[in-house]
Amino acid sequence: MPGLPPTQLRLLHVHAHPDDESSKGAATTAKYVAEGVEVLVATCTGGERGSVLNPKLADDPAVLANIASIRAAEMAKARAILGVSQVWLGFVDSGMPEGEPAPPLPEGCFGLEDPVIAAGRLVAVIRQFRPHVVTTYDEQGGYPHPDHVMCNRITVEAFKAAADPHLWPEHGPAWQAAKLYYHMSFHRRRFEQLELAMHEQGLDCTVAHRDEDPYSYGRLTTFVECAEYFPVRDEALRAHATQIDPDGPWFAVPLAIQQAGWPTEDYQLVRSLVPTMIPEDDLFAGLRPEPLVPEFMI
């Protein structure tokens, strides 16, 4: 596996809902697509229970009545913008039950699946696509949405199970992906740097989506330079019109300030079966033709 040229490298992103592929790691995706890497997005659910977050569409009865098909159409636009292939795993959106105490999740939803069994669908994708790198969310789902947490659980399980020829034999020959990463771009250090850059330009320095975990920055291992592709990321985000307010907090920081203030998307390397060196600047470190010394294994 080591020494593969970029045109043979394959990257699999596993996400909970349509729009997650555009809000998490999308500039990284666009960068690798431009380099000739084959990228596949596996979307666990259809986002059927997602709220309409764009206030311009929130009261449109046609949108509310057809949210599943609309979100599928938005996903089609986003994947075309990013240049990726995409597969639906077919699980049912859990929604985000709120209250005190929190109400139970709806019967049959993704968040109530047995992760060992549910991982079988992703095992089939991994064995067919044969990715060298897999990405997903951390143990808390990036934020505690039940579908994001379950997405982490089935990805971790499938990463292992896909390599075991005794498990899921009906899904084809075993495949061992070389590296597993968690998306970690929503961390406090990044937001602090963006706020500082905003302040230096005399602009409102409150940045939305502040990470509540002050220690997440210490988990980072990999910083992918991809500021050039931030405009592609934003275009893909806007394709999810029901989920993204074009005048909202996602776009509050001017693009030039984002590119200068924090030009990377950031990851935690969780598992590597190839030698690499920390910190990394490439999800495919250890898989490129150039040897890396000293060796670092997780």
177 with 286: CB under 8 angstroms?
Answer: no
What span, in angstroms and rounded, lies between the C-alpha atoms of 266 and 216?
11
Residue 17 labeled ligand binder: yes
Residue 108: is it exposed, middle or buried by C-beta count within 10 angstroms (0-12/13-18/19+)? exposed
166 is in an annotated binding site: no
Q: Helix, strand, or coil here: 97? A: coil
Angle at Cα 67 formed by Cα 64 and Cα 72, nearest 5°? 160
Q: Is 148 annotated as a binding residue?
A: yes
Tell me the domains of the chain and their CATH numbers: 6-186+214-252+263-272 (3.40.50.10320)
Minimum mean pLDDT among 121-135, 160-174, 193-207: which range? 193-207
DSSP conformational letter for 12:
E
* 213/167 Cα distance (integer angstroms): 36
Query: pTM, whole model, 2 decimals?
Result: 0.92
User: Per-residue pLDDT for 4 more than 60?
Assistant: no
Torsion of CA 71, 76, 78, 82, to 10 degrees: 150
Q: In this prediction, what percent of the chain has a pLDDT beyond 70?
A: 91
List, for residues 154-165, the tens digit of each pLDDT value: 999 999 999 999
User: Residues 57-67: pLDDT tens digits?
Assistant: 888 888 888 99
**Overall average pLDDT of the 105-130 stretch:** 97
1 — pLDDT class (breaks 50, 70, 90): very low
- Does 258 have pLDDT greater than 80? yes
Residue 2 pLDDT greater than 60, yes or no = no
Contact 272, 179 (CB under 8 A): yes
Is the CA virtual torsion 143, 284, 85, 168 positive or negative? negative
Task: Measure the CA–CA gap between 206 and 220, rounded to whole angstroms.
Answer: 23
State the CB neighbour count (10 A cutoff) for residue 255. 13
Omega cis (within 30) before 101: yes
DSSP helix/strand/coil, 64 = helix
Q: Is the confidence at residue 81, as pLDDT, over 70?
A: yes
User: Look-up: residue for tokens 């077919």?
Assistant: 90
